[in-house]
């Protein structure tokens, strides 16, 4: 979302990939600078989405990376996270979307228990009964002191947040793989999610291959079919009937400065790996 077209430009870009949904940031993910909603061309974007049958309900917004609700070491970092997440929820609400993906946070050597409680406290501060936006806690790879690397951690957060009906999760295939989960038996993973969290809380999926071996805890995304997960496994995940209505988002690396999303979407539509995608 950039330039003069802003959200309208996001819709145009998604359509250029033949996508039926997309994910966007309300501003740069590394800072708190944001344009007024009036400058985002929201109504024009909605009109173009309706024309091309892209549902506003399926749009995914990603919260900025600078939000860290788990940081108890620096009070100002936690306070910024709470205040900015509140503002971000309001912006997503004003746009009309309802799915906001959030990295749970890193405890910065304070320990898992302390970090999880800090996330719970932060979510209790920002959530309100009348909001339509749901916060989707993303499954993380476990690099550094990241939390949200297991379904049990995510379940613990959800169980202890007062307005838990405002929470869902976002599965990330690269992160799950790097966290140690075996994606070749994805139905077993979905069973685990259902038992610990509830499958109805899976409201978005990031579809990414991984540059690293299973359990590496490194979080380095790779293009579809060119990583350690592989096309066959990812294709089965995309077409899993239990996730039929869940929006699926590609976060794979650009190739020679260009987005590969149109070609990667075609792979999944055709159930065929494109082994020439990364050839110059």
Taking alpha carbons only, the member of 27, 32, 26, 44 closest to residue 94 is: 26
Residue 107 annotated as binding site: no
**175 in a labelled binding site:** yes
Strands (E) across 160-266 are located at: 167-172, 202-207, 209-210, 221-222, 248-250
Q: How far apart are CA 151 and CA 197, in angstroms?
A: 7
E strand map for the chain: 23-24, 60-62, 99-102, 134-138, 167-172, 202-207, 209-210, 221-222, 248-250
Q: Got the DSSP string for 235-248? A: HHHHT-GGGTTS-E
Using the structure block, give the residue that is written with the tokens 């494109």.
Answer: 274
217 labeled part of a ligand binding site: no
Q: Is 73 exposed, middle or buried (0-12, 13-18, 19+ CB in 10 A)?
A: middle
Positive or negative: CA dihedral 4, 8, 10, 16:
negative
Question: How far apart (Å, rounded) are the C-alpha atoms in residues 117 and 112?
Answer: 9
Q: Confirm whether residue 177 is marked as ligand binding.
A: no
CB 109 within 8 A of CB 145: yes
Q: Is 221 annotated as a binding residue?
A: yes
Annotated binding site, which residues? 62, 103, 138, 172, 175, 206, 219, 221, 251
Annotated binding site for Zn(2+), which residues? 62, 103, 138, 172, 175, 206, 219, 221, 251
């Amino acid at each position: 979302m950039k330039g003069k077209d802003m959200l309208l430009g996001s819709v145009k870009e998604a359509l250029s990939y033949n996508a039926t949904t997309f994910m966007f940031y309300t501003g740069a993910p590394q800072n708190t600078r944001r344009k007024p909603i009036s400058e985002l061309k929201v109504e024009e974007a909605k009109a173009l989405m309706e024309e091309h049958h892209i549902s506003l309900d399926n749009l995914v917004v990603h919260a900025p990376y600078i939000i860290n609700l788990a940081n108890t070491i620096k009070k100002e970092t936690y306070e910024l996270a709470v205040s900015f997440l509140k503002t971000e929820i309001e912006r997503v609400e004003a746009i009309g979307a309802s799915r906001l993906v959030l990295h749970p946070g890193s405890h910065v050597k304070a320990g898992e228990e302390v970090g999880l409680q800090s996330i719970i406290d932060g979510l209790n501060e920002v959530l309100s009964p009348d909001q339509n936006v749901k916060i989707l806690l993303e499954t993380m790879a476990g690099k550094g002191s990241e939390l949200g690397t297991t379904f049990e951690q995510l379940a613990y957060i959800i169980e202890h947040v007062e307005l838990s009906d405002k929470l869902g999760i976002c599965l990330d295939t690269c992160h799950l793989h790097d966290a140690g989960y075996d994606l070749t038996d994805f139905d077993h993973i979905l069973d685990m999610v259902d038992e610990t969290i509830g499958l109805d809380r899976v409201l978005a999926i990031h579809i990414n291959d991984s540059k690293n071996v299973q359990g590496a805890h490194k979080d380095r995304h790779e293009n579809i079919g060119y990583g350690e997960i592989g096309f066959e496994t990812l294709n089965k995940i995309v077409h899993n009937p239990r996730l039929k209505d869940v929006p699926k988002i590609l976060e794979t690396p650009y190739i020679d400065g260009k987005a590969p999303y149109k070609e990667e979407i075609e792979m999944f539509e055709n159930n065929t790996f494109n082994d020439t995608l990364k050839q110059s």
